[in-house]
Chains A and B, each alone.
Chain A
């Protein structure tokens, strides 16, 4: 445990190529996850992210068995999942159960595929809980390429997407194509999820895609500020998690999720304290309390 604070060892490990590669990958993922996060949270897609990640796992397992790159498998699995969820889960009342149905089948299928695979077992474990140290040059290229595509598409559709998310009835009235923005966004989330599967693993993608944005939503009501904060939080969790895991050689996933969770708790405490202050101000009857606390909640 004392290895955790062995800064000298950490500094030495930080000079290694594969560590730098891992940090670069994490930085890219943090950016994409943070950018998509607030919309994921507002669209209530946390469970969909989890379901998509499980199918990314299935895809990765299939790729492992077939001997093609795990990244491509994960990407294919996640995009298929996103499209399936988009097609089958159109009605809000059905969405939850449809995700559960697809998720469990995909996970089962992945387990079977891994059973067929007789290579190194650490590869198997890696796609479930992350294998950041195994990131290679070609993986990084795919990662950066997909991240750029996601960010460009997101910036192009951002305003109609936000409109359709927060105010669907009026957005539809103003001619925003609400119906096909949903599956398009699901595909963007699918691509980002596939990237996350490589780093924190299928089981823990939610820690980077959802938790930072959920934390940001606690402390600001501005969509723009929430996005910036979510990116900062996701970067802190992804990069910080890797750096902390170096010296003890412990799983990256734990540190990423722990940092992410801590940030979330801190944001909740801040929101609670602000809420109390506002309540006290309201009670003491100072004039226009809301104007005095811009964007506070």
Chain B
């Protein structure tokens, strides 16, 4: 779960899953965000919302150690980002995979276990096989674990993605639009798999999404990013007409219908419903 250590006076202190302090990120003279403070406790579910280009994915890159901050500090599971990557699980957006890819579902999950390790890994094959089978089973993917991943549906692929991220027993789960392009049933399944992990083992979840409703029942806090401004708080605090109008600097109406939240903006610039498309090489800020 969380890293424990001792402070100067010898007391045991627990570090958060994520600790971001007065962080800023700028590319040239374009500031994505600045003055960001965010501490995510073990077992907390934080949704990151905002329009395209507001720096949601870049925030994930910072936490993964793939992008340095312009100012401020960040710690992930008690260490510098990138150092403790084996304690971080990552669920990406669903993408079409090459049909001819020589890779089965179980192989994709196995890469989450030891795909980052050097050496032959011939020792411990039996343990590995058992762990992979358990992880595959825990997301209910056993019936298609031997099929080529390229032939699986988006929902099946995302279940395997969750297994791939969870097999390393992470303290922090970073999710980058994992529900995009899934139908409602699969959105619910994938969300429940993530939520179950959080409940059972206290894994913190940072969930980047353009659509809060599928995860709304589980969200503790929201980080809403808009054009350099942001707001952190519970969904009830942040998802209001007043707050979002202030953030966007334009009239925004938040409507609650049947336990769901709908954001209606006068401006097309909101484009809440379009998912950003990843640069293939992940080189540019998105």
Chain A residues at the B interface, C-beta cutoff of 8 Å = 38, 41-42, 91-92, 155-160, 162-163, 166-176, 216-217, 220-223, 226, 288, 290-291, 294-295, 297
A172 and B108 form a contact (CB under 8 A): no
Q: Which residues of B sit under 8 angstroms from A92, Cβ to Cβ?
A: 280-281
Known contacts: A156-B119, A160-B115, A175-B65. The answer to whether A166 contacts B101 by CB under 8 A is yes
Most buried by A among B97, B100, B111, B280: B111
A159 and B101 form a contact (CB under 8 A): no
B92 and A159 form a contact (CB under 8 A): no
Sample (5) of A-B pairs whose CB atoms are under 8 Å apart: A159-B111, A163-B115, A167-B115, A169-B95, A222-B102
Known contacts: A156-B118, A221-B148. The answer to whether A174 contacts B102 by CB under 8 A is no
Known contacts: A92-B280, A290-B143, A295-B146. The answer to whether A163 contacts B104 by CB under 8 A is no
Q: Which residues of A sit under 8 angstroms from B90, Cβ to Cβ?
A: 170, 173-174
Q: Which residues of B sit under 8 angstroms from A221, Cβ to Cβ?
A: 101-104, 146-149
Known contacts: A174-B86, A175-B116. The answer to whether A291 contacts B143 by CB under 8 A is yes
Minimum CB–CB distance from B208 to chain A (whole Å) comes to: 13
Main secondary structure on chain A at its contact with chain B? helix
Q: From A166, which residue of chain B is reached at the shortest CB distance?
A: B103
Q: Which residues of B sit under 8 angstroms from A169, Cβ to Cβ?
A: 92, 95, 278, 282
Q: Which residues of A sit under 8 angstroms from B82, Cβ to Cβ?
A: 175
Minimum CB–CB distance from B84 to chain A (whole Å) comes to: 9
**Could you say which of A163, A167, A172 contacts B66, with CB atoms under 8 Å apart?**
A172
Bound-state Cα–Cα, A217 to B101, Å: 8
Known contacts: A91-B281, A160-B118, A294-B146. The answer to whether A173 contacts B64 by CB under 8 A is yes
A155 and B120 form a contact (CB under 8 A): yes
A222 and B92 form a contact (CB under 8 A): no
Minimum CB–CB distance from B248 to chain A (whole Å) comes to: 30
**Could you say which of A91, A171, A217, A223 contacts B107, with CB atoms under 8 Å apart?**
A223
Bound-state Cα–Cα, A297 to B82, Å: 37
Say if the beta carbon of B151 comes within 8 Å of chain A.
Answer: yes
For window 266-284 of B, CB contacts with A under 8 Å fall at 278, 280-282
Q: Which residues of B sit under 8 angstroms from A290, Cβ to Cβ?
A: 143-144, 146-147
B111 and A166 form a contact (CB under 8 A): yes
Q: Which residues of B sit under 8 angstroms from A288, Cβ to Cβ?
A: 143
Known contacts: A159-B121, A169-B282. The answer to whether A174 contacts B146 by CB under 8 A is no
Known contacts: A169-B278, A221-B103. The answer to whether A156 contacts B120 by CB under 8 A is yes
Bound-state Cα–Cα, A176 to B281, Å: 14
Q: Which residues of B sit under 8 angstroms from A170, Cβ to Cβ?
A: 90, 92, 111-112, 161, 164
B115 and A159 form a contact (CB under 8 A): yes
A291 and B144 form a contact (CB under 8 A): yes
Say if the beta carbon of B243 comes within 8 Å of chain A.
Answer: no
Known contacts: A167-B108, A221-B102, A290-B144. The answer to whether A174 contacts B116 by CB under 8 A is yes
Say if the beta carbon of B73 comes within 8 Å of chain A.
Answer: no
**Could you say which of B102, B174, B280 contacts A220, with CB atoms under 8 Å apart?**
B102
Bound-state Cα–Cα, A156 to B117, Å: 9
Q: Which residues of B sit under 8 angstroms from A176, Cβ to Cβ?
A: 115-116
Chain B residues at the A interface, C-beta cutoff of 8 Å = 64-66, 82, 85-86, 88, 90, 92, 95, 97-98, 100-104, 107-108, 111-112, 114-121, 142-144, 146-149, 151, 161, 164, 174, 278, 280-282
Q: From A177, which residue of chain B is reached at the shortest CB distance?
A: B116
Q: Which residues of A sit under 8 angstroms from B119, Cβ to Cβ?
A: 155-156, 159
Q: Which residues of A sit under 8 angstroms from B164, Cβ to Cβ?
A: 170
Other than the given A166-B103, A168-B282, A174-B90, 6 more pairs (CB < 8 A) read A91-B281, A166-B101, A170-B92, A170-B161, A221-B101, A223-B107
Q: Which residues of B sit under 8 angstroms from A173, Cβ to Cβ?
A: 64, 66, 85, 88, 90, 92, 174
Minimum CB–CB distance from A282 to chain B (whole Å) comes to: 12
B120 and A158 form a contact (CB under 8 A): yes
A174 and B147 form a contact (CB under 8 A): no
A166 and B108 form a contact (CB under 8 A): yes
Bound-state Cα–Cα, A167 to B280, Å: 11
Minimum CB–CB distance from A160 to chain B (whole Å) comes to: 6
Minimum CB–CB distance from A227 to chain B (whole Å) comes to: 9
Cβ-closest 8 pairs across A and B: A163-B115, A221-B148, A175-B85, A294-B146, A173-B90, A174-B116, A226-B102, A291-B143
Q: Which residues of B sit under 8 angstroms from A295, Cβ to Cβ?
A: 104, 146-148
A38 and B143 form a contact (CB under 8 A): no
Q: Which residues of B sit under 8 angstroms from A38, Cβ to Cβ?
A: 102
A217 and B111 form a contact (CB under 8 A): no
**Could you say which of B64, B100, B114, B161 contacts A159, with CB atoms under 8 Å apart?**
B114
Bound-state Cα–Cα, A269 to B92, Å: 36
Bound-state Cα–Cα, A156 to B118, Å: 6
Bound-state Cα–Cα, A157 to B102, Å: 18
Q: Which residues of B sit under 8 angstroms from A216, Cβ to Cβ?
A: 102
Known contacts: A173-B64, A173-B66. The answer to whether A160 contacts B116 by CB under 8 A is yes
Q: Which residues of A sit under 8 angstroms from B120, Cβ to Cβ?
A: 155-156, 158
Minimum CB–CB distance from B188 to chain A (whole Å) comes to: 22
Bound-state Cα–Cα, A90 to B118, Å: 24
Minimum CB–CB distance from A195 to chain B (whole Å) comes to: 22
Q: From A221, which residue of chain B is reached at the shortest CB distance?
A: B148
